């Protein structure tokens, strides 16, 4: 009991420090990102039109507003506090951070929402960020020598399908856990993208209807399974009660027969006397 209390206290202290540091760093990163173009404009004496920038920002921001809210609601419970701050600050969530965190979580065998998942997600995303920086540094150094190879037409289809291949391989494990739900959702979304090709560019927003469909199907499957289990329990209880009644009736009948036999024996003995 005391050990659990100490763990909860330490975990609460860790979360408080993580949120404090994460908020500070997030504000610093936002200031640097927004200040960079203005600093460059002032230095080069080529400041953009502020009103035009605001109009363009509003137009783009409205498009990505829903996507940002959806990503926040989906990824934060999955990554935890530390992992979320690191992932949103360093970026490249879908391609690198999310697959890395999910793979690390599956290898260790922890569940979302636990302190163990918090630590594993933070470590895995931090490692992914460091590896990404190292790979980018090597890429910058080797960009000129490898440019003919990277721009080869034979490799372009491979580069265009890296993300689908990555998520397809990771999703296979989850699809196998409930093939019916996975098949229905995949079929519905595939048909939707085939008949409405304009939605292909809004994959982040389409997470909402596909996720909602998966949740509804999973709930219906769960309710059906629970109904079957309840019916099985009712049948089992009814069967036990019926068996108990049969045994009770049989016991009473046997006892009555034994009493009748004993009475007949006593009566016969009385006559003989």
Q: Which has the higher per-residue pLDDT, 244 or 185?
A: 185
Q: What is the pLDDT of residue 264?
A: 57
Q: Report how far residue 221's alpha carbon sits from residue 257's, in angstroms, rounded to the nearest whole number.
A: 53
Instruction: Write out pLDDT tens, residues 4-36.
Output: 777 788 888 888 898 999 999 999 998 988 888
Q: Report how far residue 254's alpha carbon sits from residue 256's, in angstroms, rounded to the nearest whole number.
A: 5
Neighbours of 140 (CB within 10 A): 9
Tokens coding 104: 């690390």
- The average pLDDT across 238-252 equals 71
Which of 32-41, 115-124, 203-212 is predicted least confidently? 203-212
pTM of the model: 0.58
Tokens coding 81: 């506090």
Q: What is the pLDDT of residue 204?
A: 67
């Amino acid at each position: 009991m005391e050990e659990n209390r100490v763990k909860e206290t330490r975990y609460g202290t860790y979360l408080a420090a993580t949120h404090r540091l994460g908020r500070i760093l997030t504000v610093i990163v936002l200031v640097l990102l927004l200040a960079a173009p203005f600093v460059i404009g002032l230095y080069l004496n080529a400041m953009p039109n502020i009103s035009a920038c605001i109009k363009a920002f509003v137009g783009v921001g409205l498009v990505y507003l829903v996507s940002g809210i959806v990503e926040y609601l989906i990824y934060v419970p999955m990554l935890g506090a530390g992992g979320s701050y690191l992932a949103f600050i360093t970026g490249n969530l879908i391609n690198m951070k999310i697959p890395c965190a999910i793979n690390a979580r599956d290898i260790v065998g922890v569940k979302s929402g636990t302190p163990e998942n918090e630590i594993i997600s933070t470590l895995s995303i931090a490692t992914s960020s460091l590896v990404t920086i190292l790979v980018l540094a090597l890429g910058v150094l080797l960009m000129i020598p490898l440019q003919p190879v990277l721009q080869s037409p034979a490799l372009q289809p491979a580069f265009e399908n890296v993300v689908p291949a990555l998520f397809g391989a990771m999703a296979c494990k989850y699809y196998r856990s409930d093939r019916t739900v996975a098949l229905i959702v995949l079929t519905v979304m595939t048909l939707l993208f085939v008949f409405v090709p304009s939605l292909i560019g809004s994959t982040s927003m389409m997470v909402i209807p596909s996720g909602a469909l998966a949740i509804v199907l999973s709930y219906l499957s769960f309710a059906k399974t629970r109904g079957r289990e309840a019916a099985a329990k009712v049948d089992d209880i009814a069967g036990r009660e019926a068996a108990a009644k049969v045994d009770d009736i049989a016991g009473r009948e046997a006892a009555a027969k034994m009493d009748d036999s004993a009475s007949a024996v006593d009566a016969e003995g009385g006559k003989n006397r």
